[in-house]
Amino acid sequence: MEKKDVLPRDAQSILELAARSMFDLFANASEGMLLVDRNGRVVWVNEQYKRFLPALGYERVEDFVGQPVSSVVQNTQMHRVLETGEPILIDLLSNRAGTFGVSRIPLRDSSGEVIGALGIVLFDHAKAHLQPLITKFTALQRELDDARRELASQRSGTRRAKYSFASFVGGSAAVVEVKRLARRAAQSASPVLLLGETGTGKELLAHAIHAVSARASGPFVTVNIAAVPDTLLEAEFFGVAPGAYTGADRKGRDGKLKLADGGTLFLDEIGDMPPGLQAKLLRVFQEGEFEPLGSNRLMRFEAKVIAATSRDLGQLVREGRFREDLYYRLNVLPIRVPPLRERSSDIAALVEALGEDIAQRSGLPQPEVSADALDLLAAQRWRGNVRELRNVLEQASLLGDSSRIDGARIAQVLGETGIGQLEAPAPAALPTRPIGPLRPLPEQVAELERTAIAAALQACGGNKVAAARMLGISRATLYERLTEQPDSLA
């Protein structure tokens, strides 16, 4: 009897010793180890594992241990091991810390019940013979994540930000300052008010602000107030409860306030909002709640608000056409987006970026814009700003058979639009007369006229019709001036 009792005790001791030895072996030989209890909470990590913590978002071990493993280690399968009691001996894990070969083993008590699980990082870098496998896994995982995000976006009926700060092209001091203010605005939960003329890129900036904000993973919802009839605006914002009125959708309709919850609501052309809706939206922004049309149920509204307008809101307030309290609610972080004429040094970079986009959309070669054409573009007032510049470039690209756009072609497009008078480029490159004694006024006027005509002809490549349009004079007047002094204008 005693002999039989001794053997089991020896076997148990050997088993315990083997378990300790194996644990010590893995703890020392592996790239990292993590232990969770039966509830899936992290209870211990070894020294090797601690180096992954900063990449996972934790500087201190104390902040990591005690947390649910699924909340601190992205894409973990430890909970699956706890639920099934089955080990996962070889697997690839990819998260913010990298891609790893891992093993997961359930831990049982003397009765066989699962009381925890042990995670072992077998390797944390790609061995030469495993590199193809890890590369393929990483690519497939990225494609799967992109597909999931796209599917979720389609199901929700919302969209993500399409532009970043890199899309707001330019290196002028005005552009640098706008981007600085916009990045600061993105870090705040306060409303943002974008002020600027039409076509300056206010919507693009709104996308960029959302893309770097804390709500970037949420929806980006746009309401162009000027494009929606006043009678439909309230339903557009608040949505409609099922059967709210005759002809309403039986299932109801979600409004933009609900769709934007958790993300960003962009109110374009806020200055065109009717007074009655202004009061209702002010209450939504203040209380953080609203009621769909035909419903008594309050719904939450929690989103970043970005408003934009090309109108003078201050003047509208003084005229009583825009609520003063709503104005102050929105005018927390005002950002003035400069018109193109105030940043003409960005013309060349904008032409390059717009040319690439036009080529991609049209299938034509990217246009090559000559120096004289750039000078002519930089001299314009651009009442339509970047949107007008794009239109001119697109017309010039389609006008000729060659992808090269010279000053004459630009002058032709600008002259045919009929929107505004063409501006001749400043004749900075032309020789100037040294300052000397004052001469009779007619002589000075005649010299200025000759200089302007010469500049126009140079910009238009000698095309007299285009030069006359640029100068705002008739073709007959131009020929008359050329006849009077042919030598000086040759």
Kindly write down the DSSP assignment for every residue of 47-92, as one continuous string.
TTGGGGHHHHT-S-HHHHTTSBHHHHSTT--HHHHHHH---EEEEE
Beta bridge partners, 402, equal: none
* Interval 273-279 mean pLDDT: 92
pLDDT, position 3: 45
Strands (DSSP E) along 84-201, which ranges?
88-95, 98-108, 114-123, 192-195
* CB-count exposure of residue 461 (10 Å: 0-12, 13-18, 19+): middle
* Interval 336-347 mean pLDDT: 93
Between 100-114, 334-348, 404-418, the lowest mean confidence (pLDDT) is in 404-418
Q: Over 60: is that where the pLDDT of 429 sits? A: no
Q: DSSP alpha helices (H): ranges in 400-440?
A: 407-417
**In which band, very low, low, confident or very high, does the pLDDT at 416 lie, cut at 50, 70 and 90?**
confident
The sign of the dihedral angle between the CA atoms of 307, 313, 314, 318 is negative
Q: Over 80: is that where the pLDDT of 115 sits? A: yes
Q: Which residue has the higher pLDDT, 6 or 458?
A: 458
Strands (DSSP E) along 259-364, which ranges?
264-268, 289-290, 299-300, 304-309, 333-336
Between 39-48, 123-132, 230-239, the lowest mean confidence (pLDDT) is in 123-132
Average pLDDT, the chain: 81
Tokens of 283: 């209450």
Residues in Cβ contact with 359 at an 8 Å cutoff, skipping those fewer than 6 apart: 365, 366, 367, 397
Q: Over 80: is that where the pLDDT of 223 sits? A: yes
Alpha carbon distance 442, 424 (integer Å): 22
Alpha carbon distance 234, 248 (integer Å): 14
Alpha carbon distance 74, 58 (integer Å): 13
Q: Over 50: is that where the pLDDT of 5 sits? A: no
pLDDT, position 177: 93
pLDDT, position 298: 87
Between 176-185, 219-228, 264-273, 414-423, the lowest mean confidence (pLDDT) is in 414-423
HSE-up of residue 298 (Cα within 13 Å, Cβ side): 8
Q: Which residue has the higher pLDDT, 6 or 163?
A: 163
Tokens of 187: 């870090």
Q: Which residue has the higher pLDDT, 319 or 56?
A: 319
* Interval 387-411 mean pLDDT: 88
DSSP letters for 440-484:
-HHHHHHHHHHHHHHHHHHHTTT-HHHHHHHHTS-HHHHHHHHHH
CB atoms within 10 A of CB 484: 12
H/E element, 355: helix 347-362
**In which band, very low, low, confident or very high, does the pLDDT at 100 lie, cut at 50, 70 and 90?**
confident
pLDDT, position 7: 43
Between 110-124, 130-144, 429-443, 464-478, the lowest mean confidence (pLDDT) is in 429-443
pLDDT, position 490: 46
H/E element, 318: helix 313-318
Distances in Å between the Cα of 368 and the Cα atoms of 25, 135, 151, 168, 363 are: 66, 40, 39, 21, 15
**In which band, very low, low, confident or very high, does the pLDDT at 418 lie, cut at 50, 70 and 90?**
low
Q: Over 90: is that where the pLDDT of 136 sits? A: no
Highest mean pLDDT among 56-70, 131-145, 246-260: 56-70
Q: Over 50: is that where the pLDDT of 435 sits? A: no
**In which band, very low, low, confident or very high, does the pLDDT at 98 lie, cut at 50, 70 and 90?**
confident
Question: In the sheet that 264-268 helps form, which strands lie side by side, from edge to edge?
Answer: 220-224, 264-268, 304-309, 192-195, 333-336
pLDDT, position 483: 75
